[in-house]
Amino acid sequence: MSMFRSKKLDIGCFTNIKIIRDHSKRKAFEAAEPERQALRYVIRNTTLPARTRAIAQLQLTQMHCYTRPTQIRNRCVLGGKARGVLRAFKMTRYNFRMEALAGNLPGVKKASW
Amino acid sequence: MSVPRARLLALMKAQCDVFSTTYNPEGIRTGNKILRQRLKGPSLAAYYPKKMLKFRDFQEEFGQLELLIEDDAEIARLEHVAALKARGKGAPKKKSGPPDPTAGKKRK
């Protein structure tokens, strides 16, 4: 959603619309996280009246989908791909192989046994 | 050897006092585990690398001090463009105004 997008590009990696969208979702989640956690606390607190908890449930489900952590997906910073991304290197397996063979990743070495 | 429940509860109470946690012998769900969680937002939002500082940003930042700041790559590019233009190989001029409506139609 364009209202979550920053007016000026603020990321320095490979950029396409999917990466920009994912970055917007990350920032939206960061901004809404305290509110989400407060609502989750109210929902899980069994000592509160049932009505309060039900209202909190409704409020949480009615928050914008960009503020949900499950919308966030790790993407490759070199190509934007979403599948086969190695979490430690933020890269797809192919890009990881190319970078590792080129010696751009400190401490990564080809092994065979 | 069994220990009476009252004594166990007293122990639990003392434990809670010492470690300043909530005394909850019935195990009621108070949702405190949500409050104990750390906020994940900052680390998630820092996934993609930040934008690098460009030469233009540097110029804008320090240009007002009237220092001599030259971008060698930009000067080289402008020279290249000027050389192309001198040979008549430059980029064509931009159109001004809307396109001619009859231009795209086929003539019979």
Mutate to test the interface with B, among A10, A19, A25, A26 (most CBs of B within 10 A): A26
Cα atoms in the 13 Å half-sphere on the side-chain side of B49: 14
Threshold 0.80, pTM exceeds: no
Q: Are residues A66 and A45 in the same domain?
A: yes
A69 and A26 part of one domain: yes
Quote the CA–CA distance of B82 and B64 in Å, as a whole number: 28
Interval A20-45 mean pLDDT: 95
Q: Does residue A60 lie in a domain region?
A: yes
Cα–Cα distance measured from residue A101 to residue A93, given in angstroms and rounded to the nearest whole number:
12
Q: How far is B63 from chain A (nearest CA, A)?
A: 22
Q: Does A93 share its domain with A68?
A: no
According to the model, what pLDDT value does residue B105 have? 66
Q: What is the CATH number of the domain that holds A99?
A: 4.10.830.10
Domains of chain B, residue spans: 7-45, 55-86
Q: What is the separation of C-alpha A46 from the centre of its chain, rounded to a whole number of angstroms?
A: 30
A81 belongs to a structural domain: yes
Number of domains in chain A: 2
Domain presence at residue A6: no
CB pairs under 8 A between A and B: 68
- Please check whether residues A68 and A82 belong to one and the same domain: no
ipTM of the complex: 0.86
B90 or A87, which is more confident?
A87
Give CA separation, B105 vs B44, B96, B97, B99, B101, in Å.
54, 20, 19, 12, 8
CB contact under 8 A, B34 and A40: yes
Chain-chain contact of B44 with A30 (C-beta, under 8 angstroms):
yes
Summary mean pLDDT of chain A? 93
For chain B, the average pLDDT equals 85
The verdict on a CB contact (< 8 Å) between A10 and B45 is no
Round to whole Å and give the CA distance between B41 and A33: 7
For residues A35 and A47, state if they share a domain: yes
Q: How many CB atoms lie within 10 A of CB A101?
A: 11
Q: Report whether A53 contacts A45 (CB < 8 A).
A: yes
Bridge partner residues of A92 (DSSP): A85
- A113 assigned to some structural domain: no
B33, B40, B47: which to substitute to probe chain A, counting the most A Cβ within 10 Å? B47
Q: Check pLDDT > 90 for residue B102.
A: no
Name the residue facing B30 among A9, A45, A77 (closest C-beta).
A45
Mean pLDDT (whole number) for B68-91: 88
Query: For B21-25, what is the mean pLDDT?
Result: 86
Do A36 and A67 belong together in one domain? Answer: yes
Q: Is residue A92 part of a domain?
A: yes
Which structural domain range is residue A102 located in? 74-106
**Three-class HEC string of A23-71:** HHHHHHHHHHHHHHHHHHHHHHCCCCCHHHHHHHHHHHHCCCHHHCHHH
Same domain assignment for residues A21 and A57? yes
